[in-house]
Amino acid sequence: MNEKIKKMRIPIEVNQLVKNQTDHGISCAPVSNDDYSNLLAKVPGPKGSPYEGGVFEIKICFGTQYPFQPPTFKFSTPIYHPNIDNSGKICLDLLRMPPTGSYNPAITLESMLLSIQLLLASPNPDDPLNSEAADLYKTNIEQFNIKTRELLQKGHSNQKNFI
């Protein structure tokens, strides 16, 4: 039953996300044709943040229990952020099951990706996956922004997705 729900729901959610792309700039597509179990999203860095000008690729994997379990999200573009570790794993309440998180089956793919984009603009240094980035963010925001921009430019210099 879950597999049937998953196969029906994910294409609808991807189409809705694409329909609203002009509002948020986020794009998303299956990694391989017609297999909606693995998606690749491109999330632009929010304006006014040190990530502005970058486009971040995020791999999304929908398990067999979706939508009753959240998909997994992983940055494939290098990023320096308090809530994203060096492997690309994301620490975000909305992407975790209760009681430690707030995920529920009514949350859409678009909502999850918008929350990730918002996390780029508003890190939560009190719940870090990257403690070095969290400490720098708390103690020297200017240096954090410089380091973030340097990595952004370095990571995007060989890619077409740096604007």
Q: Which residues participate in catalysis according to the annotation?
A: 91
C-beta of residue 70 within 8 angstroms of C-beta of residue 62: no
Cα–Cα distance for residue pair 129/83, rounded to 1 Å? 5
Can you tell me the distance from the alpha carbon of 145 to that of 151, in angstroms, rounded to the nearest whole number?
10
Determine contact, residues 82/123, Cβ cutoff 8 Å.
yes
Cα separation values, 82 from 16, 67, 74, 87, 110, Å? 30, 27, 14, 13, 22
Q: Are 97 and 103 in contact (CB under 8 A)?
A: yes
What whole-number distance in Å separates Cα of residue 129 and Cα of residue 41?
A: 21
Instruction: Please say whether the beta carbons of 88 and 41 come within 8 A.
Output: no
